[in-house]
Structure 1
Amino acid sequence: MEYSPWLAYEDVPEPVIERPTDVIVRIAGAGVCGTDLQLIKGFWRDHLHIELPLILGHENAGWVEEIGSAVESVNIGDPVIIHPMRSEDPSCGPGFRSRAAERGFYPGFNRPGGFAEYMLTEERRLVRLPAHFSPMDAAPLADAGLTAYHAARRASMHLTPGNYALVLGAGGLGHVGIQVLRALSAAEIIVVDMSVAALDLARMVGAHYTFIADEQYTQKILALTGGRGVEAVIDFVGKDCTVKEGLSITRKGGYYYLVGYDGQLTISTLEMIRSEKTIVGILGGTFPELNELITMVDRGLVALTITE
């Protein structure tokens, strides 16, 4: 089977328990991530050992359907969300997802994912949801929400009252990132997007300033910050233009968090030395962070806007 822009809808065998710590989840909802679209196009073929055909879907939540003999933390019928890439690889740090996904068990990447009625996973990937949560609505938290949380949480560590944080892109990830920044920091939050509707949503969830992504937005932000620039940028777009423009308004010694990956990062070594900026790549988030995010949603600090 070849990579292509098309998907097939087929009947497949139901998964079965293979190991004592395995769990079968009846899927309630599975988010469609930008990475799924890139996988379909073959973008990741040189980075992951993917065998086709593959059932996609790594943003998954549902109910425990069957458990292995050694499973203790969940029971049949429990509502759960599934961490997509939790690793046992010690090189990845405590609770972190693998940086070498071909070595592990990763549904939606190298094992059948959640675009199906049932999915086989492992106990150590499951977070029990509060009883009042809808697993269908919670599914995008597994990756889109988690990635945004991971980026915003890291950025918030460098933000103090009176600082400015810039969010590029207020879509599925961006609107979560805005809420996390608002909850974890006292920074002034600036949001840039091409869509008026996205900027309306950004203001609704906590942005202090919004700008349409036109040719003047960088100058407007520099004027707002007194020519200094922003302390932290979270780039959920990752195109050539956003990287260039975002870095240009990151203050000296500031932080640039790159989440989107649809372009090239080009910067001179002299500029890096002169500016002492820090550029950080963001991929997913940790298992503890997924628990933290669920807690924030449960307390009303973060709310998802979902399109079915």
Structure 2
Amino acid sequence: MKSVRLHGYHQRPVLDEIAEPVVKNPFDVVVRVGGAGVCRTDLHIIEGQWAAAMGVALPYTLGHENAGWVHEVGAAVSNVAVGDTVILHPTPTCGLCRACRSGNDMHCESSSFPGLDSDGGMAEYLLTSARACVKLDPATQPKDVAALADAGITAYHAVRKAIPLLYPGTSCVVIGAGGLGHIGIQCLAALTATRIVVVDRNPDALALASQLGAHETVVADGKHVEAVLDLTGGAEVVLDFVAEEGAEADGFAMTARAGSYFVIGYGGAVHIPTLDIISTERNIIGNIVGTYTELAELMELAQAGKVTLHTKAYPLAAAAEALDDLAAGRVRGRAILVP
């Protein structure tokens, strides 16, 4: 099968021909990939930022946002069958550890992360587990929802945690209206009554944000922190989908006293005097990918038309072009590889 493989850090991935995966264990599922999202994390992987954390042996197949059709199942699989349309939680889990049993399965002690620590879904077929499969309406096109598997539930997870803080009369600032941010805006609009203020340096991204439910938009032009403070007086919640290149300092500055700054994007560093934290009782909250249950909830919103992905499709052979477009800011919403 054709597969987008990373052979070396700081090198472009290439399209290789490799063997198709096969079922070996009772709960294994092989999925024929219908769409694989292209994520900023893929850029960070290529840059080597995940090398020490994951310890993966090169070459391997990229792609951690995947949806498609069940191609083969193990002997113990009962929740999906060959031919079913599925979206895949990015971390197949054990179901037995304390994190899994308490519903925090993204912190599973024995999880894998296809696309980061093993072969991912930028390929024609992907090996995963029954526990990762969320069955979808057969009318759903995998390429239209694939990026919800990571970008979607990462944004949804943050919004879900923030809901108790976003009662009517509050403000929520969204930094970054790209692949994650444009989903977060829709989740906020669907699940809360908060005033949504979106900050981005790209006017096209802000135009999309307005269409998706933003009440106010602010261009990140160097004066945006003051502009946001003028609009909100400080936001009860800031969702930072960028968290690099200075956005992390801006986000904390935009947060109101006793407010919460949610770090969702990554790549930068938070440098805040401890006095500034304790004297204002501002909270800094980290966010990783959401749970299996949150992916199922998000898919209900998506299939009801309340959350939609804005995508640009590329053939598998154009993976390098898609990554270049993402790095250069030419993708509005999410790039999707379609085998």
Q: Does TM, normalized by the shorter one, top 0.5? A: yes
1:222 matched to 2:229: yes
For 2:235 and 2:272, the matched residues in 1 are separated by 18
Q: What SS does structure 1 have at the residue aligned with 2:15? A: coil
Match of 1:145 among 139, 152, 155: 152
Structure 2 residue identity aligned to 1:58: H
Letter in 1 for 2:220: A
Cα displacement string for residues 96-131 of structure 1 (whole angstroms, at most 9, x for unaligned residues): 344478x43321122211011111110010000112
How far, CA to CA, are the matches of 1:294 and 1:48 in structure 2? Answer: 29
8 Å contact from structure 2 (residues 92, 129) kept in 1: no
Alignment of 1:166-185 (within 5 A): 166-185=173-192
Distance 2:46 2:254 in 1: 35
Match of 1:241 among 239, 246, 268: 246
Which of 198, 202, 209 is equivalent to 1:195? 202
From the superposition, tell whether residues 246 and 105 of structure 1 become closer, same or farther in structure 2 (CA, over 3 Å): closer
Task: Give the TM-score of the pair, scaled to structure 2.
Answer: 0.87
Distance 1:242 1:76, change over 3 A: same
Contact 1:169 1:193 in 2 (8 A): yes
Q: How does 1:37-56 map to 2 (within 5 A)?
A: 37-56=43-62
Structure of greater relative contact order (alpha carbons < 8 Å, 6+ residues apart): 2
Counterpart residue number, 1:136: 143
Q: 2:67 aligns with which of 61, 75, 96?
A: 61
Note the alpha carbon deviations across 1:220-248, whole angstroms, 9 max, x for none. Answer: 222222xx310000000111421111111
Pairing 1:1-308 to 2, within 5 Å after superposition = 2-88=8-94, 90-93=97-100, 94-99=102-107, 103-225=110-232, 228-308=233-313
Deviations along 1:254-280, one digit per CA (max 9) or x if unpaired, are 011111112110011111110111111
Contact 1:258–1:279 (8 Å) recurs in 2: yes
Q: Cα–Cα, structure 1 residues 251 and 284, in superposed 2: closer, same or farther, change >3 Å?
A: same
CA distance in structure 2 between the partners assigned to 1:275 and 1:90 by the alignment? 37
One-letter identity of the residue aligned with 2:192:
S
Q: After the TM superposition, which segments of 4 or more aligned residues of structure 1 sit over 6 Å from their partners?
A: none
Q: Which moved more, 1:288-297 or 1:233-242?
A: 233-242
* CA distance in structure 1 between the aligned counterparts of 2:108 and 2:120, rounded to whole angstroms: 18
CA RMSD of aligned residues (A): 1.5
Q: Please say if residues 97 and 108 of structure 2, whose CA atoms lie closer than 8 Å, have aligned partners that are also in contact.
A: no
The count of aligned residue pairs is 305
Q: Structure 2 unaligned runs (5+)?
A: 1-6, 314-339
Q: Which has more strand, going by share of residues? A: 2
User: Relative to structure 2, which stretch is displaced further, 129-138 or 119-128?
Assistant: 129-138
Structure 1 residue runs of 5 or longer lacking an equivalent are none
Contact (CA 8 Å) 1:86, 1:287: kept in 2 or not? no
| Code of the aligned partner of 2:145 | A
Identify which range, 90-99 or 173-182, moves more after superposition: 90-99
- Kindly indicate whether the alpha-carbon contact (under 8 Å) linking 2:65 and 2:90 is maintained by their aligned counterparts in 1: yes
Query: Alpha-carbon deviation of 1:290?
Result: 0.1
CA distance in structure 2 between the partners assigned to 1:71 and 1:172 by the alignment: 33
Query: AA paired with 1:5?
Result: Q
Cα distance in 1, alignment partners of residues 271 and 209 from structure 2: 29
Q: Distance in 2 between matches of 1:98 and 1:137?
A: 23
| Kept after mapping to 2: 8 A contact 1:240/1:264 | no
Is the 1:168–1:193 contact (alpha carbons within 8 Å) kept by the matching residues of 2?
yes
User: Please, which moves more after superposition, 238-247 or 67-76?
Assistant: 238-247
- 1:87 alignment partner, SS class: coil
Whole-Å separation in 2 of the counterparts to 1:80 and 1:276: 43
* Deviation larger for 165-174 or 91-100: 91-100
One-letter identity of the residue aligned with 1:248:
A
Give the Å deviation of 1:95.
3.6
**Bigger shift: 72-81 or 5-14?**
5-14
- TM-score for both structures, normalised by structure 1: 0.95
The structure-2 alpha-carbon separation of the partners of 1:86 and 1:10, relative to structure 1 and needing over 3 Å to count, comes to closer
How far has the Cα of 1:253 moved from its partner? 0.6
Partner Cα distance (1:137, 1:294) in 2: 12
Q: Distance in 1 between matches of 2:124 and 2:248?
A: 39
